[in-house]
Structure 1
Amino acid sequence: MIQNTGRNVLILGANSDVAKQCIKQYLEKGFSVTAASRDTGSLEKFVGENNLDSSKIAIIYFDAVDFDSHQKFYNTLPVKPHIAVYAAGFLVDNEKALRDFKGTKQMMQVNYMGAVSILNIIAMDQSNTQLERIIGLSSLSGVRGRKSNFVYGSTKAAFTQYLAGLRQELASRKITVNALVIGYIRTKINEGLQLNESLIMEPDYVAKHIVNAGNSFTIVPNFKWKMIYIILKILPEGLVSKLP
């Protein structure tokens, strides 16, 4: 049970490397944290190994793809959030996704459907007058369809568009919605991939941009990735087709 809560942040998919850094940084800013994940044991280990203040952290079970459980999950939260962060994610190789729909379905459910399911519940609870911000972790892969990752990218593109509409929906209640459009990160999800080392960001660096999110809808951490984002947005289709 969280003690002396103050402002609270709910992190959905809290077992990711970036989310764990967010836990640390939100605590440093004086928040209490509700960390939600399927792997609660890993989170408990993380809290212990890092000597975090367990009186300000509630670790609870959350399954992004168990849609029928989401309303009960929200109703039984120890405290309703001031900020909600959707950090759950799933990735399979594009070639595998094209040949095995099981992986594609899992990406759709975790990256988009699960996000919409739980964030709709959070956003539409008008009794939670303290809700001030919703943050979703999206990806540069969703900016333009490219043959190397368009199946995964399509789930992130859908999520970004959902967040854009949600931002408009919640504007009258003065609730800010941000989309973190993120490039390569040194995390578990990217292990084994051949990535440009000069473009890889560390989890704590990305977490800093989440925890300090401002009013802009699209937040792209790292100057290099900002340039890539702009180029992808304006590049003619003929040139996009030549990209890997």
Structure 2
Amino acid sequence: MGKCLLLLGANSDIGSAIARKFASEGFDVILAGRRSERFDSLASDLSIRHNVKTFVVEFDASKYETHQRFFSDLQMRPEVVVYSIGHLGDQVKARTDPELALDIMTSNYTGAVSILSLFANEFEQRKSGSIIGISSVAGDRGRQSNYIYGSAKAGFTAFLSGLRHRLFPSGVNVITVKPGFICTKMTEGMQLPTPLTSTPDKLAEAVFSAYKRRKDIVYHLPMWRSIMFIIKMLPESLFVRTKL
């Protein structure tokens, strides 16, 4: 089986960077996401620049009824599946808008569970493959500033943990990537602390390194592991008094 990456979330800056990195390492690439015409140019660039096969496929995480057909109709069977779909949303609006809150949950968690479960079953049967989920440090502890997004990422992290436990005997690798601040369209306009902020390209390098080394949980930047450890260890009586 040739090396093939399925990138779920090709519209995102992080997804595009991951696709470029894997293509540079000789992977054929399936780019999947909503409004697939938007990444036709990315597919062409990857094909020409790296001499790999590229495919563009429509995928909507919220349309669960289409996931089985999407899975079955792929033109190549992937060795690596990356779920990079994410939606930060507006925390303030989501407090009073159930549809917005559910959209955040679907993009970051329930849609991922639906589609990745299909690939988990296939990989388990063939006893090979890698599943990589782009979660977030926001899922390590609920905070008033983004607890709806954070709770979805917490669910995604727990799902990946359970999946890793289940698939370990089959030789299937499941990687949870927890970025901190990343300069993307999603964070545009936000004042991010420079020492704690990375770029999609650097994150993509970390993702590929984790794949090659068969890591399980990756914090990016690495300092976030220590930061989140401290935040998680704060007693609730003190934590509720913070402005995080």
Q: Deviations over 1:190-222 (max 9, x none)?
A: 112232233221100011111121333210022
Partner amino acid, structure 1, of 2:6: L
Q: Deviations over 1:98-150 (max 9, x none)?
A: 11112101011111110000001111125862742100000111100111111
For 1:181 and 1:64, the matched residues in 2 are separated by: 20
Q: Equivalent residue for 1:107? A: 104
Q: Is 1:118 the counterpart of 2:115 in the alignment?
A: yes
- Pairing partner for 2:208 from 207, 211, 214: 211
Q: After the TM superposition, which of the residue ranges 157-166 and 209-218 deviates more from structure 2?
A: 209-218
Task: List gaps (5 residues or longer) in structure 1.
Answer: none
Q: Percent identical across equivalent pairs?
A: 35
Q: Is 1:25 the counterpart of 2:24 in the alignment?
A: no
Q: Aligned pairs, how many?
A: 240
Contact 1:146/1:240, CA 8 A, preserved across alignment: no
TM-score by length of structure 1 reads: 0.92
- Pairing partner for 2:37 from 35, 41, 45: 41
Partner amino acid, structure 2, of 1:232: I
Residues 161-240 of structure 1 correspond to what in structure 2 (within 5 A)? 161-213=158-210, 214-240=213-239
Residues 56-135 of structure 1 correspond to what in structure 2 (within 5 A)? 56-125=53-122, 129=126, 131-135=128-132
Contact 1:12/1:35, CA 8 A, preserved across alignment: yes
Partner amino acid, structure 2, of 1:11: L
Contact 2:124/2:172, CA 8 A, preserved across alignment: no
Task: List gaps (5 residues or longer) in structure 2.
Answer: none
Q: After the TM superposition, which of the residue ranges 222-231 and 7-16 deviates more from structure 2?
A: 222-231
For 1:203 and 1:190, the matched residues in 2 are separated by: 12
Contact 2:137/2:180, CA 8 A, preserved across alignment: yes
Q: Which has the higher helix share?
A: 2
For 1:127 and 1:239, the matched residues in 2 are separated by: 44
Partner amino acid, structure 2, of 1:38: R
For 1:22 and 1:130, the matched residues in 2 are separated by: 24
Structure 1 residues 177 and 126: alpha-carbon distance in aligned structure 2, compared to 1, 3 A threshold: closer
